[in-house]
Amino acid sequence: ASSEDLIGDKNYAFSIQGLLTVPLFDGGLRYGLRRSAAAVVEQRKELADAAERSAKLETIQAGRASTVAETALLVARESRDLAKEGDERAQRAFDEGAGTSVDLVEAARRLRQAELELALRELELVRARVAALLASASCSY
């Protein structure tokens, strides 16, 4: 029906339309999107490989740090034992009259310093072992 007056006494008007759209050329959008998606997938694979390499390297470095900390602890223990022996010798020398009180104080200072160094090396060893454990741990989430 139409609101326009037509010749005659009845207002009939019909209109039927159809639209068919066929894209002949989309400007390469579809192929561009496909290449872009493939590049993103490749980028994610490379990022995953880099993360895996980084994790392996971190595990190796943590293991080496633990070994170095153990060696440093052994050296600190030997240094402490030598400082203890030096302190005992300084005490004997002072008791026999061959040493001075300055020698006693210096030997005691060296012994305290060696004991402090030993305690620090023990702490470093514990830290290195914890870091190695965390680096080699695998999380499921």
pLDDT of residue 7: 62
Can you say whether residue 27 is alpha, beta or left, with left for phi > 0 and alpha for psi between -120 and 50 degrees?
left
pLDDT digits over 23-74, tens only? Answer: 777 778 888 999 999 999 999 999 999 999 998 899 899 999 999 999 999 9
Nearest Cα residue to 64 out of 137, 139, 138, 136: 136
pLDDT digits over 58-116, tens only? Answer: 989 999 999 999 999 999 999 999 999 999 999 999 998 888 889 899 999 999 999 99
